Amino acid sequence: MTRPEANRGSGEAGAGRPPGASLAHRVPDLGALELLLGVARLGSLGGAARELGITQPAASSRIRSMERQLGVALVDRSPRGSRLTDAGALVTDWARRIVEAAEAFDAGAQALRDRRDSRLRVAASMTIAEYLLPGWLIALRARRPDTAVSLLAGNSAVVAERLLADEADLGFVEGLSVPSGLDSVVIGHDHLIVVTAPAHPWARRRRPLAAEELAATPLILREKGSGTRQVLDAALGGLARPLIELSSTTAVKASAVSGAGPAVLSELAVGEELSLRRLVTVPVDGVALGRDLRAVWPAGHRPVGPARELLSLTRSGKS
């Protein structure tokens, strides 16, 4: 098999790319990444091709195309089978994360399609909807492949409204208390943290923030009615000062990363930004920012069917 010259990769692989070229032109498609994962697992290009239902020549062509695209050799072929190069092993680790993320995306997208055959209506507050629910839905689909899940994402107040209006079968909220008219069970725990961009003065301070200083500083915040805002307001005696109020966790993160100011967010939401140093944690002293994550449903109507199964899945992973 003809291999690209690995020494050219860093200097020439991107030489012909126009500035701002789309990721679609720089990242291999999912089919190619799944093929590479199959080669890694089976040690055979032919076996990986059969697993994906394509011919071996088509598989070889796809690998060669991916090598040209990335500018590195990925697979060594011999009469004894196919072996990943060192670069191929590294790319395979990255590919696995992309494929897993695509599976979570697919499960979330499926939840938004309102099929009528077997339906579960879920309402979830934003942090749970964005960072926990996709994994639960993948597990539910493995158990109940014919169940379609419709998802409404909103703040905790909206979740309660949907349940009480019989527009959802099961809900998930993040606040300090259970909305009136609902029963609940704790499925996990979360902690809010103060974060800011690395250039902000707080990123270099040596002493933890006191509650008074946090309350006196305008912050990028979720809107009133959200579980995140409820916890912060309770911790600061209702004194939190909004610099900007936004209705999604993603929007709050983006504003903080841009340097607009400090933000208060769930630690579930900022793992990637912290690891890449796009955001840094600011220690806080004397402020209670923990909260329970709860499943909720209309009082007296214990979840049944798919709702009960989803609830059992969320509790099976409870720490």
The boundaries of the domain holding residue 141 are 105-185+295-316
Q: Are residues 41 and 161 in the same domain?
A: no
**pLDDT confidence of residue 185:** 94
Nearest Cα neighbor of 200 from 256, 123, 273 is 256
Q: Are residues 156 and 300 in the same domain?
A: yes
Q: What total of structural domains would you count in the chain?
A: 3
Domain containing residue 39: CATH number: 1.10.10.10
- Tell me if 157 is assigned to some domain: yes
Q: With bands split at pLDDT 50, 70 and 90, how would you rate the model's confidence at 20?
A: low
What is the chain's percent helix, strand, coil content, to nearest 5?
A: 45, 20, 35
**pLDDT confidence of residue 17:** 52
**pLDDT confidence of residue 318:** 52
pLDDT in tens, 209-259: 999 999 999 999 998 888 888 899 999 887 788 999 998 888 999 999 999
How much is the average pLDDT of 73-95?
A: 86
Mean pLDDT rounded to a whole number for the chain: 86
- Tell me if 1 is assigned to some domain: no
pLDDT in tens, 252-285: 999 999 999 999 999 999 999 999 999 999 999 9
Tokens (6 digits) for 219: 């912050």
**79, 101, 123 - which closes a domain:** 101
Q: Are residues 181 and 306 in the same domain?
A: yes
**pLDDT confidence of residue 112:** 66
pLDDT at 18 exceeding the cut of 70: no
**101, 135, 155 - which closes a domain:** 101
Q: Residue 111: CB partners within 8 Å, gap ≥ 6?
A: 122, 133, 137, 148, 149, 150, 151
Computed on alpha carbons and rounded to an integer, the radius of gyration of the chain in Å comes to 24
Domain containing residue 180: CATH number: 3.40.190.10
Q: Are residues 51 and 35 in the same domain?
A: yes
pLDDT in tens, 31-81: 999 999 988 888 888 888 898 899 989 989 999 999 998 999 998 877 777
- Tell me if 285 is assigned to some domain: yes
Q: Are residues 301 and 251 in the same domain?
A: no
CA distance 246 to 9: 42
- Tell me if 70 is assigned to some domain: yes
Q: Are residues 134 and 260 in the same domain?
A: no
- Percentage of the chain modeled with pLDDT above 90: 47
Q: Which residues pair with 102 in a beta bridge?
A: none
CA distance 267 to 256: 14
Q: Are residues 64 and 15 in the same domain?
A: yes
- Tell me if 244 is assigned to some domain: yes
DSSP output for 180-193: TTEEEEEEEEEEEE
Query: How many Å separate Cα 65 from the centre of its chain?
Result: 30
- Tell me if 69 is assigned to some domain: yes
Domain containing residue 235: CATH number: 3.40.190.290
Q: Are residues 18 and 94 in the same domain?
A: yes
Q: Are residues 218 and 259 in the same domain?
A: yes
Q: Are residues 56 and 112 in the same domain?
A: no
Q: With bands split at pLDDT 50, 70 and 90, how would you rate the model's confidence at 139?
A: very high
How much is the average pLDDT of 98-106?
A: 89
Q: Are residues 155 and 140 in the same domain?
A: yes
**101, 124, 156 - which closes a domain:** 101
Q: Are residues 159 and 224 in the same domain?
A: no
